[in-house]
Structure 1
Amino acid sequence: MKPLEGIRVLSISQYGAGPYATLHLADLGAEVIKIEDPHTGGDVSRSVIPYAEQGDSLYFQALNRNKKSVTLDLKSETGRALFRQLAAKSDAVFNNLRGDVPAKLGLTYEQLKDVNPRIVTCSLSGFGTTGSMRAEPAYDYLLQAMLGHMSLTGEPSGPPEKYGVSMIDFSTGMMAALGLMVGLFRAKSQGEGCDMDVSLFDTAASVLNYLAIWNLNKGYVPQKTAHSAHPSLVPSQLFPTKDGHIVIMCNKEKFFPALSQAIGAPHLAEDARYVNFESRFAHKDSLVAELIAIFAREKTAYWLEKLQGVVPAAPVNTVDEALKHPLLRERDMIVNVAHPGFGDVSMIGTPIKITGEKPNYLAAPALGANNEEIFGGLLGLSRSELERLTAERVV
């Protein structure tokens, strides 16, 4: 039995953040039923290029494996009635709609508690379901800009830059998954459901963490740092090598003497200017200049061999190089999923490891693939009723 087996989640979500949240629940055994709009072709990510064809895409597959799909028009009275029947037989309702939309579609706890007092509703939105911006649309890059993340990314002489992947979307997805599980635990222990409200805005603020406390209490203004350096610990940054780049992290005092010895420069650790974190920070420019000159003499592989087991260090890999790292296979982080159109699809597995558990991975569903199973099997609709609803485009 899977850890979350027996938990049923109705998911009205598309694109990145919402599907990423429920992906992890589905991987761990929850029955996640995607409710998709029959009038729009369903989740917009089914058509995200590249590698999109016939209402499916590799992007969609990456975020929606192990889920089920039904089509249902939540804007119609009949569709909302069917949804309430599903909610009565479910544990949670999840959405990543704009903050003002869940209430309009009847997705809040207050609107569903009459059919299921233990239902947990979780809303992942751009700016939350309360506040002056709840009706505003939001996307990952917008929040990176608005909450200061882009001002910290890139070289000091360059323009603000975004992350290479949708980190605010995925961070918020993880927060939403955690929030939903907290809500389910609360419902089990107290016998009463609730609303969970998670937003891109709040999460983007949350991950500022120590930078925020420095600013709010001491007026510290974070700045971009050269070579992606840590804001206060030296040396903890990127260094160019003869053929690429390497990241060195001397985040404990013991690592700097070890680094100095390993790179053939023991005099650095003996220099009074570099004896501890404070002095190294005060003389950062001169120390970093010396280290840059040293690391530029040899290739990355040479330095990695010298530093392995001595000082935390890593090569700066391309995504292609990163996905060839043998530990990914050792840790079951690259998995193969059979797909009727794309064939044997390799993708990233769940990062959550549970003793004695081995996840099963099923391809993300075709649009409405589980209509008969859910509406017929779970709700007990007859074939003729289902055919009528299909003709009316309710499903």
Structure 2
Amino acid sequence: MSVAELPLAGIKILSIEQYGAGPYGTMLLADLGAEVIKIEAPSMGGDVSRATGPYFLGEQDSQFFQTFSRGKSSVALEIKTAEGRAAFEAMVREADAVANNLRGDQPAKMAITYEDLKAINPKIVCAHLSAYGRDNERASWPGYDYLMQAEAGLMSMSGEPDGPPVRCGLSIIDFHTGSQLAVALLAGILGAHRTGKGCDVDVALFDTALHQLSYPATWYLNEGVQVGRLPRGAHPSIAPSQAFKTQDGWLMLMCQTPKFWEIFCTKMGRSDLLTDPRFASIPARRANLADLTDVLDTLLSTQPTSAWIALLGGQVPVAPIYDIAQALDSTHVKAIGMTDVVDHPDAKDGRLRMLASPIKVNGKRPAGKRAPKMGEHAVAQS
């Protein structure tokens, strides 16, 4: 599939971005055909993730950087200088959006808000991703994903009950917020195309983290109930919905409806569990979670994980608990094409293996393209 066939072909986005959250969001748009131009200041070494190791690819490039900026262009530009500002404004005239993931107090200081740019391009959409937003007492605070998981209460729900709070193994709030940036930016562009008037759109790491509390937030706000940590990552109200031991590892089982519990018991040859008063209903199973865990651990420990997947897969919501190698090397990942290879002059054999886009267009994943070298593309002239 050519870039011209992708849904965002013809959309131009300038992005003053670094590290993970902002670049993740604009990369999703680049995958879908948008022209995303990274504005990188040479005096700062460009996007800081170019220097994030331990796996580097020549000068000012790394596998970390490639993960978040593939498919984009790069111009080396100091927009704080008069010459650089003139070149930037020339680019704004032809762009649909200007995105950034700076501290909340920086867009105004750098004059990259809609108020600053509307005279140049009335349809420009200015998309801001910050740690805490631009309109409160924390606007100038730096902030990162792990802090958000901590303060928004997410870590209080992760890990074992008798252990310390635990963060997710990856920066999920960065990625969620980047995705929200992409949605907000596209909404702004659609509105600008309809009305001829652009706008500012804002997303914040903290706001996103708090929003991910979802129904536990509703429960607390209305019932005063706090969802804490449960053994094995168990669901707060439904059982069995957690990790269980197998003969050679672990299995995640999620009987979210009575139907799946019935199918599970039948397939396992344990129809007696259906009439056991401790497990006869979802509330009973939740109230007797410790007993249920012991029973199913004993049962599932008689066979390896693969045997249970063969028996239950497609019938009951179940999945093996894999490490990263097992996950990426699985036959299913290969079958759905969730990894691809991009050409890169400084990678081993000139090829860099990466994850493919999670979005399909007409049944196909957009082709991958490496992230740009620093300042690889020409700066527009005013």
TM-score by length of 1: 0.92
Greater Cα shift, 193-202 or 289-298: 289-298
1:266-322 Cα offsets, whole Å, 9 max, x none, are 211111232211222222222222112212222111222221232111110011100
Q: Distance in 2 between matches of 1:212 and 1:206?
A: 8
1:320 maps to which residue?
325
Decide which of 348, 367, 370 is 1:360's aligned counterpart.
Answer: 367
Contact kept in structure 2, 1:18 and 1:124, CA below 8 Å: yes
- For the pair 1:65 / 2:108, whether they are aligned, the reply is no
Structure-to-structure mapping, 1:1-395, within 5 angstroms: 1=4, 2-52=6-56, 53-342=58-347, 343-355=350-362, 359-371=366-378, 374-375=379-380, 379=381
Change in 2 beyond 3 A, CA 1:323/1:192? same
The 3-state SS of whatever aligns with 2:44 is: coil
Pair 1:356–1:245, CA change in 2 (3 A): closer
Distance in 1, matches of 2:250 and 2:374, equals 44
CA displacement at 1:260 relative to structure 2: 1.5
Q: Deviations over 1:82-129 (max 9, x none)?
A: 211111111100000000001100110000000000000000000011
Shift of 1:246: 0.3
Choose 295-304 or 2-11, whichever is displaced more. Answer: 295-304
Distance 1:352 1:166 in 2: 20
**Alignment partners' CA distance in 2, 1:74 and 1:309:** 55
The amino acid across from 1:279 in the alignment is A
Tell me which residue corresponds to 1:387. Answer: none
* Structure 1 residues 222 and 315: alpha-carbon distance in aligned structure 2, compared to 1, 3 A threshold: same
In the alignment, the residues of structure 1 paired with residue 196 and residue 364 of structure 2 have an alpha-carbon distance, to the nearest angstrom, of 29
Shift of 1:357: 5.5
Give the Cα separation in 1 of the matches to 2:313 and 2:24: 34
SS at match of 1:138: coil
Aligned length: 375
Relative to structure 1, the CA distance from residue 289 to residue 358 in structure 2 (aligned partners, 3 Å threshold; closer, same or farther) is closer
Contact kept in structure 2, 1:80 and 1:106, CA below 8 Å = no
Distance apart, 1:217 and its partner CA: 0.5
For 2:355 and 2:366, locate their aligned partners in 1 and report how far apart those are by CA, in whole Å. Answer: 12
Contact 1:335 1:346 in 2 (8 A): yes
Distance in 1 (alpha carbons) for counterparts of 2:198 and 2:66: 31
State the SS of the aligned residue for 1:25. helix
Gaps of 5+ in 1: 381-395
Distance change (3 Å), C-alpha of 1:3 and 1:357: farther
SS for the counterpart of 2:13 is strand
Q: CA deviation at 1:25?
A: 0.7
- Residues of 2 paired with 1:279 and 1:161: CA distance? 28
In 1: Cα distance, 2:356 partner to 2:128 partner:
25
Task: Say whether the 8 Å CA contact 1:150–1:160 is kept in structure 2.
Answer: yes
Once the two structures are superposed, residues 316-368 of structure 1 have per-residue CA deviations (whole angstroms, 9 ceiling, x without a partner) of 00111000122323323111100011121111111111116552322111100
Q: Identity across aligned pairs (percent)?
A: 44
RMSD: 1.3
Question: Does the residue aligned with 1:121 lie in a helix, a strand or coil?
Answer: strand
**Is contact 2:357–2:365 with CA below 8 Å preserved after alignment?**
no
SS state of the match for residue 123, structure 1?
strand
TM-score between both structures, scaled by the size of structure 2: 0.95
Task: Please state whether the residue corresponding to 1:124 is helix, strand or coil.
Answer: strand
Counterpart of 1:288 in structure 2: which amino acid? Answer: T
